[in-house]
Amino acid sequence: MVEPPRPVSVVSVVALNDLHLQLDFDDGLSRTVDVTPYVQGPHYKQVRLSEKFFKTAHIESGTVVWDNGVMLDADLLRYGPPKPPKPEKVKAAKPSKPAKPAAKPKPKAKPVKAKAKAPAKKVAKAIKPAKKAKPVAKPAKAKPPAKKVAKATKPAAKAAKKKK
């Protein structure tokens, strides 16, 4: 569709078969227009369904009008339907991190073999007692007093024998 340079008016209309109109405009253009896409609403039902009623098209104030009062704008018939405006592209800021859903539990990560074994060995070494460690010296066992006495008496007995 071309943007209308100025509003136009229909100066003559002839209804043809199959919802086509032969139109002459005040800017000198003559054309045949298929009005099927323009007469789809419920108000245009009589225009669409009755060829006899479609042929009652006439001009009032520069627009095409039918006997029941429905009309088609001259600019629509001349230039076609307006094109929808193109949406502007909005540059969205990139999110730093996507939002994580709170309902989903986090899957447990499997430990990496190399990383999992190294700490386990260190812990095992720390827990095991040292094999080569010397035990703490135990106090000497006390000998029974009889032996001490015997030892003490034996030299004393020897000394007593020598004195005799």
Q: Do the domain assignments include residue 33? A: yes
Q: Do the domain assignments include residue 139? A: no
**Which one is predicted more confidently, 50 or 149?**
50
Helix (H, G, I), strand (E, B) or coil at 96: coil
Q: Is pLDDT of 15 > 80?
A: yes
Q: Do the domain assignments include residue 104? A: no
**Which one is predicted more confidently, 137 or 36?**
36
d(CA 26, CA 60): 14
Q: Do the domain assignments include residue 159? A: no
Q: How many domains does the chain have?
A: 1
pLDDT class of 6 with cuts at 50, 70, 90: confident
The residue range of the domain holding 21 is: 10-79
Query: What is the rounded average pLDDT for all residues in the chain?
Result: 75
Q: Do the domain assignments include residue 119? A: no
Give the global pTM.
Answer: 0.48
Tokens at residue 7, please?
């509003």
d(CA 11, CA 74): 10
Q: Please, which residues bridge with residue 15 across strands?
A: 21
Q: What is the CATH number of the domain that holds 49?
A: 3.30.2020.10
